[in-house]
Structure 1
Amino acid sequence: MRVLVTGATGFLGGVVARELAQAGHEVTGVGRDPASGAALEEAGVRFLPLDLRSPGPWEKELDGVDGVLHAAARSSLWGRWEDFVADNITVSARLARACAERGVRLVFVGTPSVYNATGQHVQVPESTPVGPRFDSLYARSKFLAEEAVRLAHPEATVLRPRGIYGPGDTAILPRLTRALRSGRLPRLTRTEVHTELTHVRNAAHAAKLALERPAPGVFNVTDGETVPIWALLDRLADRLGVPCPHPYVPAPMVEGAAALLEGIARLHPAKLEPVLTASGVRLLTRAMTLDLTRARERLGYAPVVHPVEGLDEVLRALP
C-alpha cells in the first residue's frame, strides 16, 4: 500500500510512518523539519519538506496514493484562533477535498478534547453530542476540522486518541516533568482522578488498522485501562528525585487564577502562553474514560501496549 503521512516529523506521525515502512508499505512522510526528515529516510520513509498551508505543491503527491494519515496539526492548549484555523481547519478541509477527488482513503487524527465541555466524562461514546461550547480553542478547531473533513470526504476515518505518550513524547510527560521540577505544582484534589491515556504505539496501531480497511466514522482510541493521575505524578516525582506535589490547593481556586492569567496574556501584544492555563488544570482534576466498543468492533482494535508497560518504559527513559 502506498501511504502519505502528514506531520511525519511530529510524534505520532513519525511513529506511524516508521511502522508502516517497517511493515512493507511504501510511505511518504510530509513535515516541516528537514533535520527530522533525515531520520525518517534512514527508516525507509521518503521524506518531503512541505508546508501544507501553501496550496498546490503537495497535492500532486496524492496522485497514485492509496491512503493518507493526516496527523499534522497545531496541538496546543494556547494560541491565536487565526493560527488554529489556518493549521487545523483550513489545511484539513483542503486535504480532505483533494483525497475525495482522487478516491484516496483518509484517516484524520482528531482529539477527545472535544468531549471536555459536554459534562460526560465516564465511558464517553463517539455519539456524545459535541459543541457549540468547547473548553479550549484547540478543541474547537479540531472539532470544526473533523466536520470539514467528514463533509468533504464522507468515507474518512476520524480517530480520537486520548493523551498520547511514549518515547519521544514532547507534550504530556515533559510538561509534567517541568512542573514537578519547578516545585510549583500543588496537589489540586484530595481524591484520586482516573483518566485514560494512549501509548503512541497503540495510536499508531489504530491508524494502521484504519488505513488497511474501510472504516468510515469516528473512533475513540486509548490504552483501554484507567490511569490514576496523582499516583502517576507522585511516581514521576520519585523518579526525578523531587518533592511530590504539595500543598493542597482547591482546583477551582487554581483554575480561576489560570483564567485570570489567560485574560492578561491575551491583552499583551505578543499573546505569550501563560505559565498556567485553565485547560491544563482541568486535565489534572477531571476524570475522562472513553468507550472503545466501536473501535474494537469496526476496526478490530485491541491495544498492543499495556499502560503499565508503556508508563514504565517512559519513566525508565527519563534523564
Structure 2
Amino acid sequence: MKVFVTGATGFIGTALVQELTKAGHRVLGLARSAASIEKLRAAGAEVQQGDLEDLDSLRAGAAAADGVIHAGFVHDFSRFAEVCQIDKVAIETLGATLAGSNRPFIVTSGTALVNQGVLATEEMTSEHDLTRIPRVSESSLDPFTSRGVRTAIIRLAPSVHGEGDHHGFIPTLINIARQKGVVAYIGEGLNRWNAVHRLDAVHLYRLALEKGEAGMKYHAVGDEGITLKTISEMIGQQLNLPVISIAPEEAPAHFGWFAMMASLDCPASSQLTQRRLDWKPVHPTLPTDLANGIYFK
C-alpha cells in the first residue's frame, strides 16, 4: 500500500521508511527542508512537502495514501503546550481526511502517559495529568474510530534506543552527566523506565498498519522496567564518573527541564501486543546497548 508518514526523517521515521519499503509498501514522507527532502528521495520514498502546521499538506498526503502513520512531533519542550496543540490539530486534520474510508491511521503516543507507578497495559486508559503534560494524541484520535477510520495507537517507550539516537532520553542523561561531572538519580533511583529498540518499534508500526484492529492500542515495549539507578550506574561506568543520589528538591537544579522525565516511574507490558500482532522484540535491550557503548562513541 502507499503510506503517508509524518516524522519520516527522524530517528524513528528513518527506520520506519526502511521497514515499510523493504516490506513492499510505497512511502510518501512529509518533509520541509531541502536536506529532509533529499534524505527521503535517497531512501526511495516520495515526498509531500510541508510540515505539521501546514494543514493543506497533511490533507494532500492523507488523501493520496492508502494508510497514514503519524510519527511526527515537534520536540520543543520550551513550548510544550503549544506543540501538543499542533499535534492535536494535525491528528484531527488527518482523521477528517480519512473519515469513511476504512483506511488505517496509526498515531503515536507514549507508555509513560498511561499510569505512573503501575505496570501499564494496553487496555488501560491514559491517566496522565493534563496540567503537567498536555498531550492528547489518544483522545484526539478516538472519535475517528466511529467515523470509518481503522485507528490504532502505538504507545512508544520513553527510551527508544539504538544506533543513531542523539536526542532521546538516554543521550540527554549522558549530556547532563558530562556537564555536571556526576551521574545522578533521584532518591533511591527505583523509578523505572520501559524501553524498546527502534528496529523493534518500527516493525510494530508496520504490523499495526497491516493487521491492526480499529480502536486498538499497542505497546512498543521490550524492557518492561529498568530503574534509573541501574541506568545511571551503567552510564557512570562508561563515562568513568561518580554516581550519586540527589534529593527530589535538588532535581530541577541538576536536571533542568529534564527533571520530570528523570523522575518518571512508568513500567509497561507489551504482552497483549505480542499476542495480538505476533510481534516479539528481538533486537538488543537498553542495558545491552549501554554496555556495548553505542552511546559513548
Same fold? TM cut 0.5: yes
1:124-183 per-position Cα deviation (integer Å, ceiling 9, x unaligned): 22333434734733xx32xx2211212024430101011212222222222011111012
**Take 1:187 and 1:313, find their aligned partners in 2: how far apart are those partners?**
19
Which structure carries more strand by proportion?
A: 2
Partner residue in 2 for 1:281:
262
Q: Return closer, same or farther for 1:313/1:157 CA change in 2, 3 Å cut-off.
A: farther
Q: Look up the match of 1:173.
A: 170
CA shift in 2, pair 1:314/1:57, >3 Å? farther
Secondary structure at 1:27's aligned position in 2? strand
% identical equivalent positions: 21
- Whether contact under 8 Å (1:224, 1:292) holds in the other structure is no
Which secondary structure state, in structure 2, belongs to the residue aligned with residue 37 of structure 1? helix
- Tell me which of 148, 151, 154 is aligned to 2:140: 148
Q: Aligned letter for 1:11?
A: F
Give the 3 Å change call, closer, same or farther, for CA 177–162 of structure 1 in structure 2. Answer: same
The residue number in structure 2 matching 1:88 is 87
**Whole-angstrom CA distance in 2 between matches of 1:233 and 1:33:** 36
Task: Tell me whether 1:10 sits opposite 2:2 in the alignment.
Answer: no
Map of 1:30 onto structure 2: 30
SS in 2 for 1:156: strand
One-letter code aligned to 1:311: D
Which stretch of the first structure deviates more once superposed, 229-238 or 14-23? 229-238
What amino acid sits opposite 1:38 in the alignment? E
- Partner SS for 1:48: strand
Cα distance in 2 between the residues matched to 1:309 and 1:209 = 26
Whole-Å separation in 2 of the counterparts to 1:175 and 1:132: 23
253 and 214 in structure 1: CA distance in 2 versus 1, 3 angstrom threshold? closer
Partner residue of 2:246? 249
* SS in structure 2 at match of 1:230: helix
Aligned residues: 290
User: How far apart are 1:79 and its partner, in Å?
Assistant: 2.0
Report the alpha carbon displacement of residue 94 of structure 1 after superposing the two structures with TM. 0.8
Aligned residues: CA RMSD: 2.7
Q: CA deviation at 1:191?
A: 5.3
Residue 162 of structure 1 pairs with residue 143 of structure 2: no
Unaligned stretches of 5+ residues in structure 2: none
Contact residue 9 and residue 32 of structure 1 kept, 8 A: no
What is the distance in 1 between the residues matched to 2:61 and 2:257?
41
Q: Write the mapping of 1:214-229 to structure 2, written as runs, cut at 5 A.
A: 214-216=212-214, 217-229=216-228
2:126 to 121, 125, 130: 130
Structure 1 residues 50-89: aligned runs within 5 Å? 50-75=50-75, 77-85=77-85, 87-89=86-88
Counterpart amino acid of residue 148 in structure 1:
S
Instruction: Mark the CA change 1:132 to 1:195 in structure 2 (over 3 Å): closer, same or farther.
Output: closer
2:271 alignment counterpart? 293
> Is the CA contact (8 Å cut-off) linking 1:4 and 1:28 kept in structure 2?
yes
Query: Any idea what the Cα deviations from partners look like across 1:56-114, whole Å, max 9, x if unmatched?
Result: 234233335221110011345542423321x2111111111112244321111111232
Please, which runs of 5 or more residues in structure 1 have no aligned partner? 262-273
Question: TM-score, normalized by length of structure 2?
Answer: 0.86
- Distance of 2:164 and 2:141 partners within structure 1: 28
4+ residue runs over 6 A deviation: none
* From 189, 209, 212, the counterpart of 2:210: 212
- The separation in 1 between residues aligned to 2:64 and 2:282, in whole angstroms, is 31
> CA 1:64 to 1:35, structure 2 compared with 1: closer, same or farther past 3 Å?
closer
Distance 1:127 1:23, change over 3 A: closer
Shift of 1:206: 0.8
- Partner of residue 42, structure 2: 42
2:230 maps to what in 1? 231
